[in-house]
Amino acid sequence: MEQRKKDLIESFRNGLIVSCQVQPDDPVYSEEFVVKMAKAAAWGGAVGLRANMPDQIRAIKKEVDLPLIGLWKIWHDNTDVFITPTLEAARAVWEAGAEIIALDCTEQINHRGKPAYELLPVLKKEIPEAIFFADVSTYREGVRAIALGADIVGPTLYGYTAETKHIEQPDWREFARMCRDFRGKAYVVMEGHLYTPEDAMKCLYLGAHAVVVGSAITRPHLITKRFVDLLSGYQNNWRNDERGRH
C-alpha cells in the first residue's frame, strides 16, 4: 500500500468514524441535515465520516475537513446488493470527494447475475488512487476481499444477508478472529450493531483499527423506535425498520 493511503487510514486508529446518512423517506430528511450531522460529529471528535450518495458526499466535503468513506446505495428489485453496486456508482462517489470507497464484497448475487465481490478488482484497476473498504458479512468473505485487494474490511453487512439475517448482535468471537487473522494484510474496522460507547470500546479491545457508528448517533427516529420497542414489550421489531431500504 502506498504511503499516502496508509497515512490516511492510520489517522483513524482507535477512533470513531460517524456514518452520516439521510434518505428522502426519513422524517429528519432535508438537504442540510446531513451536513449538520457531519459538523456535529467533527465537533464531537470523530476521526472520519461515512456518507451515502454523491450529492451528500459533496455537500459534506465542502463544510467538514475529515476523511470520508463514500458509498452509493442503489437498489434493484432482483438483488439485495445495494452498496455501490456498479463501477459508475463508485466513480461518482470518488468524483464527489470521498477518499475511501465502500462497496458490497459479499457472495450475494448482484443485479447483473454476478457475485458482488467481483466488482472490487475492477474498481482497483479503474480507480487505483482510491482506498477500498470491503463491506462483508462473514469471515470467509473478508478473506476473499483481502485476496482481491481490499484495503479495509468491515462486517458491515453482518445481519443483512440471507446467511446472516437471523443475527441481531455482533459476533464478538468472529470479529476477534478477523482482527487476529487479517492483521498485516488489511485494516479491520468494526461497523454494525453498535449502540453504546461500551460496544465501541469492546471492538478496540478485540483489535479493531477503528469503529464506525451510524444509527445510534445520527438517526433519531430509529433511536426513538428502539426505546419504544423495549417499552412496549417488543411488540414491534425496530430492527425491521433499520434493515429497510434506507
Q: Which pLDDT tens digit goes with each residue over 190-206?
A: 998 899 999 999 999 99
3-state secondary structure the chain: CCHHHHHHHHCCCCEEEEEECCCCCCCCCCCCHHHHHHHHHHHHCCCEEEEECHHHHHHHHHHCCCCEEEECECCCCCCCCCECCCHHHHHHHHHHCCCEEEEECCCCECCCCCEHHHHHHHHHHHCCCCEEEEECCCHHHHHHHHHCCCCEEECCCCCCCCCCCCCCCCCHHHHHHHHHHHCCCCEEEEECCCCCHHHHHHHHHHCCCEEEECHHHHCHHHHHHHHHHHHCCCCCCHHHHHCCCC
- Predicted confidence at residue 239, as pLDDT, reads 63
pTM of this structure: 0.93
Mean pLDDT by 10-residue block, N- to C-terminus, for the chain (246 residues)? Answer: 93 98 86 93 98 96 98 94 97 98 97 97 98 97 98 93 80 95 97 92 97 91 86 75 60
- Predicted confidence at residue 215, as pLDDT, reads 86
25 within 8 A of 10, measured Cβ to Cβ = no
Whole-number mean pLDDT of the chain? 93
Q: Directed axis angle between helix 54-63 and helix 87-96, to 10°?
A: 20
- Predicted confidence at residue 162, as pLDDT, reads 81
- Predicted confidence at residue 173, as pLDDT, reads 94
Q: Which pLDDT tens digit goes with each residue over 109-135?
A: 999 999 999 999 999 999 999 999 999
- Predicted confidence at residue 159, as pLDDT, reads 83
